[in-house]
């Protein structure tokens, strides 16, 4: 039943979100503190009082990642219910891992290659609206590209095309699609003279946070499905 997958998605998403929050707290937050200190450093500039202090923001990190996890997990559960019978695998665990891998690529990895995460001190604040719009446009188009690649692979398989040729054709199509997207959308903002070590540390911590979340979601959801299957719970 769809409701069963929805519940598993909500539970797995919450746990994966908290795991991602834990990673971000210990790995990403120290880097963010350093980036904020650099942003506030110039020549005694006046800075408005923060609405939320850094300690409050750090405590709220787990609420934010947990809420994100529940939301994405619920959507994932519904998506899994729809794609389950269409995924070429013999177990729900593998189906879950494959689906989260595809979503990770479309929703985060591809956009990250074009617009890697930047700390607060990077980029013109006046262009944040345009940069946000470009980023979410790329997320939507990347997900469509991943879906198109999956549909193309499925059609080729149904027509009897062997796996090596399918991979070449679909891979070439993905590469051309990515090139078109990357050229069509605005360039990422320049980091200027921001320290490269801190910049890439921040970016890698952001990448790691997302990787922990999506890997956790796929594994936990798959385990919940396998447990339900072994217990004879109706799917």
- Mean per-residue pLDDT of the chain: 88
Please check the confidence at residue 101 and state whether its pLDDT lies above 60. yes
Q: What is the pLDDT of residue 90?
A: 83
Q: Read off the pLDDT of each residue in 124-145 and give the average, rounded to a whole number.
A: 91
Q: What is the pLDDT of residue 55?
A: 67
Residues 62, 202: Cα–Cα separation, whole Å: 18
Q: Measured between alpha carbons, how far is residue 170 from residues 99, 150, 161, 167, 175 in Å?
A: 17, 8, 12, 5, 9
Query: How does pLDDT run across 164-187, given as a tens digit for each residue?
Result: 999 999 999 999 999 999 999 999
Q: What is the pLDDT of residue 18?
A: 96
Under a CB-based contact definition with an 8 Å cutoff, are residues 150 and 79 in contact? Answer: no
Q: Which of 50-59, 115-124, 217-226 has the lowest mean pLDDT?
A: 50-59
């Amino acid at each position: 039943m769809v409701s069963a997958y929805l519940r598993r998605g909500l539970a797995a998403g919450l746990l994966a979100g908290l795991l991602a929050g834990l990673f971000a707290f210990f790995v990403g937050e120290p880097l963010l503190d350093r980036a904020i200190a650099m942003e506030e450093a110039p020549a005694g500039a006046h800075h408005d009082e923060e609405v939320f202090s850094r300690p409050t923001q750090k405590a709220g990190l787990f609420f934010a990642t947990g809420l994100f996890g529940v939301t994405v997990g619920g959507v994932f559960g519904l998506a899994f219910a729809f794609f389950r019978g269409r995924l070429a695998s013999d177990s729900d665990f593998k189906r879950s891992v494959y689906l989260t891998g595809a979503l990770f690529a479309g929703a985060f990895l591809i956009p990250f290659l074009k617009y890697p995460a930047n700390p607060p001190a990077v980029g013109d604040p006046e262009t944040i609206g345009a940069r946000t719009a470009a980023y979410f446009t790329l997320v939507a188009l990347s997900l469509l590209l991943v879906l198109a690649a999956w549909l193309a692979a499925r059609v080729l398989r149904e027509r009897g095309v062997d796996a090596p040729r399918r991979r070449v054709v679909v891979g070439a199509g993905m590469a051309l699609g990515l090139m078109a997207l990357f050229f069509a959308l605005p360039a990422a903002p320049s980091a200027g003279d921001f320290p490269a070590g801190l910049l890439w540390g921040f970016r890698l911590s952001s990448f790691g946070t997302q990787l922990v979340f999506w890997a956790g979601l796929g594994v936990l959801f798959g385990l919940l499905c396998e447990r339900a299957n072994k217990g004879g719970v109706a799917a």
